[in-house]
Amino acid sequence: VNFVEAIARKRDGLELSHEEIEAFVQGASDGRVGDEQLAAMLMAICIRGASAGETQNLVETMRDSGALWRVGADYPAAVDKHSTGGVGDTVSLVFAPLVASCGVPVVMMAGAGLGHTQGTLDKLDAIPGFHPAENRARAFQLLDRCGVCFAAQSEEIAPADRRLYLLRDLTATVPSLPLIVASIMSKKLAVGAARLVLDVKCGSGAFLKTRKAARELAEALVGVAHGAGVEVRALISDMTQPLGSRLGCASEVRAALAVLEGKGDPRLRDLTLELGAEALTLAGHAPDEARRQLATRLADGSALAKFRELVEAHGGDPDEKQLARPQTAVTATARREGYVTAVDAEELGWIAVALGAGRRTSTDEVDPAAGVAVHARVGERVSAGRPLATLELGVRQVDGEGLRARAEAAFGIGDEAPAPAPLVLERIGGST
């Protein structure tokens, strides 16, 4: 395959052959294709899209670029959960111990931050000593020991996605349906859990913003999962404002702990319960029973105990006091009185990245202490001067005043309260 010709074909809107897709994926995993050509192909796919056949091909070749763990063969009840990427989306850190505390094993291939979103892997990294599994033997050991495994992409699993994920982040090619489907499903199928719960985000803080695009993405993800014999449920959930009220690595670990302690952000708790109920239903529970069991495990402390157990099993220190804290803070306040009509999740996500909670270049270090605390939600009434968000500054030198102005502008304030938006917009999928 002449890779320049392959790029040109996609640039011109033509369909890539199986051999061209193989050259792309193989070249990404073994390094034979350079960053500039991979980036050009990513941009061509991002702009031109891909057919269902090309997307399926991409998923399968990316899945096969590394090992297959076949978790479902040894742990048929194990469930995997993945989000298409949101802001203040701390669900994974609560979902995993909560669902595992109900007796359903959880395996999750976590990702680093992408674009304006903060990644689960970076959040876990804020826990001193925490090491996600990087190979099958370790993943199975963790599942045996505590019923939960957080895994990280390595050379072993979907290595093509590992390289493309980084490049997409640096080349503004994240918001592409086929690239998101290939990225998520190649990892899911390589890990090989037989059950999957998907959280497809919709709104300003999501990669694909509209309801139509979110539905297409959910249907494509569900279609690929079904095609591979995976039982799957997908929720389309609201991302018109941050999900939880904390953005940033250490801060989101604290936010997860707060929910596990029976307190915490209600939106984060509610969506985790919805996704958890889907997981338990896949495991054969009746929906009402599933909800009751999840609520009980939160209330009686067993989900919190499971969190501590899983952190220790992954080599981490579960003591909250060990989490990094910001060095200073800057407060963004309301410029006028009124109702909060919008909270621009993407903008707050980018502000968190600028503060150090994410990477702007591949060599950037993530600062676990940096982040944004959101104090006002859509529909709330605020008075002039009321704090809307606290920018938590870590070690990175930033223009605090400039970021404060951007944070203030991220909150729309008007005279009328907007109609409340539901947290779960749609449910897609069913068992195979």
Q: Is 226 a catalytic residue?
A: no
CA 109, CA 107: separation in Å to the nearest integer?
Answer: 7
Work out which of 92, 183, 293, 390 binds ligand URA, going by CB under 6 A: 183
CA 293, CA 302: separation in Å to the nearest integer?
Answer: 11
Catalytic site residue from 92, 183, 186, 204 = 183
CA 240, CA 168: separation in Å to the nearest integer?
Answer: 23
What Cα–Cα distance (Å) separates residue 256 from each residue in 102, 245, 372, 430? 17, 11, 15, 28
Q: Is 285 a catalytic residue?
A: no
Site string for ligand URA, 74-93 (x = CB under 6 A): ----------xx--------
Stretch that binds ligand URA, among 180-188, 236-244, 260-268, 286-294 (CB under 6 A): 180-188
Q: Is 183 a catalytic residue?
A: yes
Backbone phi, psi, residue 60, to 5°: -70, -40
Instruction: Collapse the DSSP code of 338 into the 3-class scheme (helix H, G, I; strand E, B; otherwise coil) and give the result.
Output: strand
Give yes or no for residue 205 binding ligand URA (CB under 6 A).
no
Q: What is the H or E stretch that residue 80 is in?
A: strand 79-83
CB nearer to ligand URA: pick between 158 and 403: 158
Give yes or no for residue 180 binding ligand URA (CB under 6 A).
yes
Residue 207 beta carbon to ligand URA: minimum distance, rounded to whole angstroms: 6
Q: Is 161 a catalytic residue?
A: yes
What Cα–Cα distance (Å) separates residue 23 from each residue in 17, 19, 37, 185, 360? 10, 6, 11, 19, 28
Catalytic site residue from 10, 116, 162, 168 = 168
Catalytic site residue from 10, 81, 82, 246 = 82
CB nearer to ligand URA: pick between 207 and 411: 207
Catalytic site residue from 187, 233, 246, 306 = 187
- Give the footprint of ligand URA on residues 97-136 (CB under 6 A): 111, 114
Backbone phi, psi, residue 412, to 5°: -85, 135
Q: To 10 degrees, what angle do helices 287-299 and 91-100 make?
A: 100
Stretch that binds ligand URA, among 63-71, 178-186, 244-252, 375-383 (CB under 6 A): 178-186
Give yes or no for residue 280 binding ligand URA (CB under 6 A).
no
Is 353 in contact with 372 (CB distance < 8 Å)?
Answer: no
Point out which residues bind ligand URA (CB under 6 A).
84-85, 111, 114, 180, 183-184
Catalytic residues: 82, 161, 168, 183, 187
